[in-house]
Amino acid sequence: MEHMKFETPDMVSENIDKIAALFPTAITEMRGEDGEIKRGVNFEVLKQILSRDVVDGDECYEFTWVGKKAAMAEASRPITKTLRPVKEDSRNWDTTENLYIEGDNLEVLKILQESYLGKVKMIYIDPPYNTGNDFIYADDFMRTQEEENEQMGMYDEDENRLFKNADTRGRFHSDWCSMIYSRLMLARNLLTEDGVVFISIDDNEEFNLKEICDEVFGGGNFVAQLAVQLNPRGRNLDRYIAKTHESVLVYVSDYLNTASILGIEKEGKMVDEYNKSDVRGAYRLIGLRNRNQAFNPITRPNLYYPLYVDPNTKMVSTVKTDTFTDEVFPDTPDGIKTCWTWMKKKVDSENHLITAERTGNEWRIFRKDYLVAEDGSTATTLVKSLWTENTINNDYGKKAIKELFGSNVMSFPKPPELIKRMAAIGSGQDSIILDFFSGSATTAHAVMQLNAEDGGHRKFIMVQLPEKCDESSEAYKAGYKNICEIGKERIRRAGDKIKSEHPDAKLDTGFRVFRVDESNMEDIYYHPEELIQTMLGGMVSNIKPDRTDLDLLYACLLDWGVEISLSHTQAVIDGCTVHNVDNGALCACFDERVPLSVIDYMAKQQPLRAVFRDSSFAADDSKINVTEIFKNLSPDTKVKVI
Ligand SMILES: C[S@@+](CC[C@H](N)C(=O)[O-])C[C@H]1O[C@@H](n2cnc3c(N)ncnc32)[C@H](O)[C@@H]1O
């Protein structure tokens, strides 16, 4: 029977698969460091395949920094850590679909790779900006031994290393680039095909971030650099120019996917333009002639043709008849030939939208543009790149925190309205929204608020390092020892507030808390080559003694690529606890010596996946029984053991 592997995916091997699918000739066999033959990429061949000219040098356009290769390798390196459920900190564990994950986001992103691959519609992050005063997480791969030895400053609750990245350090920019690069590489895999990423940043690393994002998401998937006015008064500490805005870089998974970013409903003056009406409702007239003279009979011959107007009804036809008599070409009043915006075929099929108006002796052709479309949706417009509304400035970020906590327990929280605006254009009603630098969980607040306002069921995933609060901070004085405590409490309080303001809304204000931890499995079990006989003798279980059924269940879900937000029920059958996730997505029993009656019960549920402890079966013949029972009762179930 197959074992669960409890290791994050080997991204190198998955990447080789992707290259092999596109360019099989670039795949070769090579000897690894351990002397074993393995598959690899022949980069010389690959380079040549991707170039029309002979490739003989190493020169190419590339953005690089000290440590880039190590950061790339780090993103691909599997880990055996897991997420352990923390029910006592969670809210509405049984019903919620939101997640709050405590830990270093690099590890969390690795752990989520299988379960959330291609499932996240929108990512918003507000990483440390590298101002010279920021603490950044000292990923193992960033430090030389020398740097390791000289103590780098702070530790978080779990003794994870945070160091103050001062701008006097030689690797000031490089370390930041490495930090963000490996995380974005992993985050990209989680995006849906119509996914979108918003990243807040200021001048310090904006250039570097843009280069990195161009590489990670593809330069062709860059959408815009929003200018967000967060400080209308201007920063008074600046020397020459008082900065009033920050940027938000926007990228999509696929620039051609029109579902990536939605328009916003028109309001105010834009609605006033719809000043005509008929039985279908308010509409405006838009000229059918393309005013751009670059589009003309030579460049667009299919769009240059005559239309015929019936002077009595003002209706328009592509064919001249006794009633459609007046010929009109798409020419300017002074005779320059341009073209129509619609092809003849469309003018015929959507003819009810076409009308003519006389100005002087000339006919002008228009199409009707209704405010409310036939499917009931109101006309939308593109969001503009300059965001200056008051409600998205920093004061509102602080105000939101103060309203909930009574004091400023978080420095520089983003305003909920800012993130709500992004979610309104970057997510659908049922989307998953991820923020892996979540701080005080403003993103969760914004998602709940938007759901309350538009009836959506968006789900959030917040990730945050349990970074210690400074003892002199207001947060610490208010009793919050680390930022995760602030984030979780923020969601509770914001959820209650939004619920009280929208009593009729069906809102999910709960969240399941998980914490990154070492594997549930004894080390020895996963490194059998290191197993020595004396250890074997003492080994009663391959599972660490402090781990519960729930720990094992969620590790199995992650390993098997099942979402950890799915519903979960449990039943006691013949003294054994049987877990059932999402009505049969996975059935598990982690008891020792599971009787056949329980296996029978599980197989009858016909789950997609079933999992047991290896030690659940006293002897090999019981394992064979299990296989047989499932084969008979539920042949499609995949059965594994841990
Ligand atoms: C600029 S703050 C985000 C503030 C947030 N947008 C808000 O409105 O409260 C960045 C956050 O990222 C967290 N962080 C930094 N490195 C991290 C890491 N490696 N993993 C998870 N969180 C991290 C920091 O603790 C900090 O709370």
Tens of pLDDT, residue by residue over 598-613, are: 999 999 999 999 999 9
**DSSP-derived secondary structure for 27-54:** EEEEE-TTS-EEEEE-HHHHHHHT-SS-
CA nearest neighbour of 10 among 77, 108, 71: 77
pLDDT range class, residue 151, cuts 50, 70, 90: very low
CB 117 within 8 A of CB 561: yes
pTM score, whole prediction: 0.86
Ligand 1 atom at minimal distance to the Cα of residue 440: 9
Cross-strand pairs, 38: 30
CATH classification at residue 562: 3.40.350
CA nearest neighbour of 600 among 637, 551, 566: 637
d(CA 179, CA 175) in angstroms, rounded, equals: 6
CB 451 within 8 A of CB 444: no
Q: Give the count of domains, the chain.
A: 4
Ligand 1 atom at minimal distance to the Cα of residue 104: 20
Within a domain: 591: yes
Q: Does one domain contain both 338 and 396? A: no
Q: Does one domain contain both 245 and 176? A: yes
CB 608 within 8 A of CB 580: no
Task: Report the pLDDT value the prediction gives residue 523, as an integer from 0 to 100.
Answer: 76
Higher-confidence residue of 391 and 68: namely: 391
Within a domain: 276: yes
Ligand 1 centre distance from Cα of residue 82 (Å): 21
Within a domain: 407: yes
Within a domain: 381: no
- The two tokens of residue 363 are 């006919």
Ligand 1 atom at minimal distance to the Cα of residue 414: 8
Within a domain: 76: no
Q: Indicate the residue among 316, 337, 370 that finishes a domain.
A: 370
Q: Does one domain contain both 204 and 306? A: no
CA nearest neighbour of 158 among 482, 470, 535: 482
**DSSP-derived secondary structure for 575-608:** TEEEEEETTTTEEEE--SS--HHHHHHHHHT--S
What's the CA angle centered on 585, arms 444 and 448, to 5 degrees?
Answer: 15
Q: Indicate the residue among 515, 543, 569 that finishes a domain.
A: 515
Q: Which residue, by CA, sits nearest to atom 27 of ligand 1?
A: 439
- The two tokens of residue 95 are 């019903």
| Torsion (CA) 30, 33, 37, 38 in degrees, nearest 10 | -70
Ligand 1 centre distance from Cα of residue 104 (Å): 10
Q: Does one domain contain both 103 and 245? A: yes
d(CA 103, CA 109) in angstroms, rounded, equals: 10
Q: Which residue, by CA, sits nearest to atom 26 of ligand 1?
A: 439
Measured in whole angstroms, the distance separating CA 337 from the mean position of its chain's CA atoms is 48
Within a domain: 139: yes
| Mean pLDDT within 17-45 | 81
Ligand 1 atom at minimal distance to the Cα of residue 435: 6
Ligand 1 atom at minimal distance to the Cα of residue 139: 19
Q: Indicate the residue among 319, 341, 370 that finishes a domain.
A: 370
| Torsion (CA) 629, 631, 634, 636 in degrees, nearest 10 | 150
Ligand 1 centre distance from Cα of residue 259 (Å): 29
Exposure pattern of 314-336 as b/e (b: 16+ CB <10 Å)? Answer: ebbbbeeeeebebebbbbeeeee
| Mean pLDDT within 84-112 | 97
When the pLDDT of each residue in the chain is averaged and rounded to a whole number, the result is 90
Task: Report the pLDDT value the prediction gives residue 152, as an integer from 0 to 100.
Answer: 47
- The two tokens of residue 171 are 């690797």
Task: Report the pLDDT value the prediction gives residue 535, as an integer from 0 to 100.
Answer: 47
Q: Does one domain contain both 144 and 233? A: yes
> 183: left (phi > 0), else alpha (psi -120 to 50), else beta?
alpha
Q: Which residue, by CA, sits nearest to atom 12 of ligand 1?
A: 437
Q: Which helix (H) or strand (E) holds 100?
A: strand 99-102
CATH classification at residue 484: 3.40.50.150
Ligand 1 centre distance from Cα of residue 437 (Å): 4
> 67: left (phi > 0), else alpha (psi -120 to 50), else beta?
left
Instruction: Write the pLDDT tens digit of every residue in 397-412.
Output: 999 999 999 999 999 9
For a pocket test of ligand 1, which of 417, 436, 438, 442 has the largest count of ligand atoms closer than 8 A to its C-beta? 438
Residue 45 belongs to what domain range?
2-61
Exposure pattern of 112-143 as b/e (b: 16+ CB <10 Å)? Answer: bbbbbeebbbbbbbbbbbbeeebbbbbbebbb
pLDDT range class, residue 348, cuts 50, 70, 90: very high
Ligand 1 centre distance from Cα of residue 485 (Å): 13
Ligand 1 atom at minimal distance to the Cα of residue 125: 6
- The two tokens of residue 387 are 């965001």
Ligand 1 atom at minimal distance to the Cα of residue 105: 20
Q: Which residue, by CA, sits nearest to atom 19 of ligand 1?
A: 104
Q: Does one domain contain both 342 and 212? A: no
| Residues in CB range of 66: below 8 A, 6 or more apart | 171, 174
Over 90: is that where the pLDDT of 192 sits?
yes
Q: Which residues line ligand 1 (CB under 6 A)?
A: 104-105, 126, 128, 137, 410, 413-414, 437, 439-440, 442, 463-465, 467, 483
Query: Judging by beta carbons within 10 Å of its beta carbon (0-12, 13-18, 19+), is residue 282 exposed, middle or buried?
Result: middle
CB 556 within 8 A of CB 3: no
Q: Which helix (H) or strand (E) holds 362?
A: strand 362-370
pLDDT range class, residue 4, cuts 50, 70, 90: confident
Taking CA atoms, 536 is separated from 6, 132, 539, 542, 614, in Å, by 21, 51, 5, 10, 15
Q: Does one domain contain both 297 and 419? A: no
Alpha helices, DSSP H, located in 252-336: 269-272
CB 458 within 8 A of CB 423: yes
Q: Does one domain contain both 358 and 394? A: no
d(CA 111, CA 358) in angstroms, rounded, equals: 66
For a pocket test of ligand 1, which of 246, 465, 483, 486 has the largest count of ligand atoms closer than 8 A to its C-beta? 465
Q: Which residue, by CA, sits nearest to atom 2 of ligand 1?
A: 439
Ligand 1 atom at minimal distance to the Cα of residue 437: 12
Over 60: is that where the pLDDT of 273 sits?
yes
Residue 70 burial (CB count, 10 A):
15
Q: Does one domain contain both 118 and 228? A: yes
Q: Does one domain contain both 116 and 236? A: yes
Task: Report the pLDDT value the prediction gives residue 142, as an integer from 0 to 100.
Answer: 65
CA nearest neighbour of 137 among 93, 199, 71, 197: 71
- The two tokens of residue 24 are 């099989």
Q: In this predicted structure, which of 88-92, 251-255, 511-515, 621-625 has the lowest mean pLDDT?
A: 621-625
